[in-house]
């Protein structure tokens, strides 16, 4: 029988909403929990809710100076240059001080980061990589216990890439990415979904802390492979839009020869890859400036070993 992996219990758990100030589900849940935290209490711990980017939340924008979910890399964490006037860089230091320091023994054990997307990604669970054992077990638990919708897993880290998101401050993390929801809009259906998934994730954490043995399992997950930009004119303006056949088809197979964009004159631009691939973040509003029309993923099945708390 495969060996059991033992990990320390999760005592310090944080839940971040409003890392992006116009993704409303997490913002409203965190505000709700700050007023009424009983929902976050479990026998073995209670989770700390906080707003990632309060100034962006006030203005209902993604960020003030730069994307807060890209500044938790060594470059920004270690630059103590007071010349840096970016609000998000200062906020990065604050968050790192409260919940980190990143990579240290004192850092929080776990952080949830709550997001929305304009893409039709459903209730997507985001983990850095399949090597993150505890978050992968948590995903497995959520998929088995939250059955109102499928919860596809997205592994975002490219090989050799440093982590840069806000939740990387903690020792382990899970991000929820729920869509489709326009920026600045709060939909009841997505709010309820996020609330239920969080309750489920906290239940898992509590059971883990209580010593439950989570057996080995196999799980399907999507691993990011490539980011695709819009076709553009020489002046940088986009010259084609996401093809109607691809719009809203996140996590569904895209085959060589399938249309991916449509020009102003109605001509399709076809996918020229050699293999079946799986797109996500299709037509995400915030990614126009990042020059990403969608990301392509590979679908894998991973085997993960059993997990139990280290006594």
Partner 1 sequence: MTSSQVVQEVPMRRIAIFGGTHGNELSGVFLVKRWQEDGTEIQRPGLEVKPFMANPRAVEKCCRYIDCDLNRVFDADHLGMKVTDDTPYEVKRAQEINCMFGPKGGHKEAYDLIFDLHNTTANMGSTLILETTTNDFTIQLCNYIKDSLAPETCSVFLIEHPNLKYATTRSIAKYPVGVEVGPQPQGVLRADILDKMRKIVKHGLDFLHIFNTGKEFPPCTIEVYKITEKVDYPRNKNNEIIAVVHPNLQDQDWQPLSPGDPMFLTFEGKTIPYEGDSVIYPTFVNEAAYYEKNQAFIKTVKQKLSAKGVRACLS
Q: Which residues bind partner 1 (CB under 8 A)?
A: 28, 31-32, 60-61, 118, 180-189, 191, 237-238, 241-244, 247, 262, 264, 283-286, 288-289
Phi and psi torsions of 298, nearest 5°:
-105, 140
Residue with tokens 């920026």: 183
* Contact (CB, 8 A) for 178 and 193: yes
Task: Say what the alpha-carbon torsion angle 300, 301, 305, 307 is, to the nearest 10 degrees.
Answer: 80
Q: Which helix (H) or strand (E) holds 49?
A: strand 48-51
Q: Annotated catalytic, 85?
A: no
Buried b (16+ CB within 10 A) or exposed e, 107-143: bbbbbbbbbbbbbbbbbbbbbbbbebbbbbbbbbbbb
Give the Cα separation of 197 and 303 in Å (integer): 23
Give the Cα separation of 173 and 196 in Å (integer): 18
Residue 54 DSSP class: H
Nearer to partner 1, 21 or 135 (CB): 21
Nearer to partner 1, 5 or 31 (CB): 31
Nearer to partner 1, 35 or 310 (CB): 35
Residue 277 DSSP class: B
237 labelled binding-site residue: no
Nearer to partner 1, 15 or 242 (CB): 242
Q: Choosing from 88, 130, 177, 284, which is the catalytic residue?
A: 177
Within 10 angstroms of residue 58's Cβ, the number of other Cβ atoms is: 12
**Strand, coil or helix: 262:** strand
**Strand, coil or helix: 53:** coil
130 labelled binding-site residue: no
Nearer to partner 1, 74 or 270 (CB): 270
User: What minimum distance in Å lies between the beta carbon of 149 and partner 1?
Assistant: 14
User: What minimum distance in Å lies between the beta carbon of 307 and partner 1?
Assistant: 34
Give the closest residue to 54 by CA, choosing from 22, 96, 21: 21
Give the Cα separation of 194 and 81 in Å (integer): 38
88 labelled binding-site residue: no
**Strand, coil or helix: 119:** coil
Nearer to partner 1, 57 or 304 (CB): 57
Residue with tokens 């569904």: 252
User: What minimum distance in Å lies between the beta carbon of 280 and partner 1?
Assistant: 15
Q: Which residues are annotated as a binding site?
A: 20, 23, 115
Which of the residues are catalytic? 177
Q: Which residues are annotated as a binding site for Zn(2+)?
A: 20, 23, 115
């Amino acid at each position: 029988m495969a060996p059991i992996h033992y990990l320390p219990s999760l005592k310090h758990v944080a839940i971040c909403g409003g890392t992006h100030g116009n993704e409303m589900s997490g913002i409203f849940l965190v505000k709700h929990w700050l007023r009424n935290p009983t929902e976050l209490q479990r026998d073995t711990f209670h989770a700390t809710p906080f707003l990632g980017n309060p100034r962006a939340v006030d203005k209902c924008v993604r960020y003030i100076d730069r994307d807060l979910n890209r500044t938790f890399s060594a470059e920004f964490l270690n630059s103590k240059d007071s010349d840096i006037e970016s609000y998000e860089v200062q906020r990065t230091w604050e968050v790192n001080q409260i919940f980190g320091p990143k990579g240290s023994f004192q850092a929080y054990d776990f952080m949830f980061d709550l997001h929305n997307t304009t893409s039709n990604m459903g209730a997507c669970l985001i983990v850095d990589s399949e090597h993150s054992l505890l978050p992968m077990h948590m995903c497995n638990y959520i998929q088995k216990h939250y059955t109102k919708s499928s919860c596809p897993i997205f592994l975002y880290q490219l090989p050799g890439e440093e982590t840069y998101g806000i939740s990387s401050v903690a020792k382990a993390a899970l991000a929820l990415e729920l869509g489709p929801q326009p920026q600045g809009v709060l939909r009841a259906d997505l709010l309820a979904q996020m609330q239920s998934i969080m309750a489920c994730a906290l239940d898992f954490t509590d059971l883990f802390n209580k010593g439950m043995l989570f057996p080995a399992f196999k799980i399907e997950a999507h691993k990011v492979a490539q980011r695709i930009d819009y076709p553009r004119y020489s002046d940088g303006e986009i010259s084609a839009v996401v093809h109607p056949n691809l719009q809203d088809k996140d996590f569904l197979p895209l085959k060589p020869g399938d249309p991916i964009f449509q020009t102003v004159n109605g001509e399709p631009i076809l996918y020229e890859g050699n293999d079946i691939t799986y797109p996500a973040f299709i037509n995400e509003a915030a990614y126009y400036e990042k020059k990403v029309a969608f990301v392509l993923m590979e679908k894998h099945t991973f085997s993960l070993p059993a997990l139990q708390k280290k006594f």
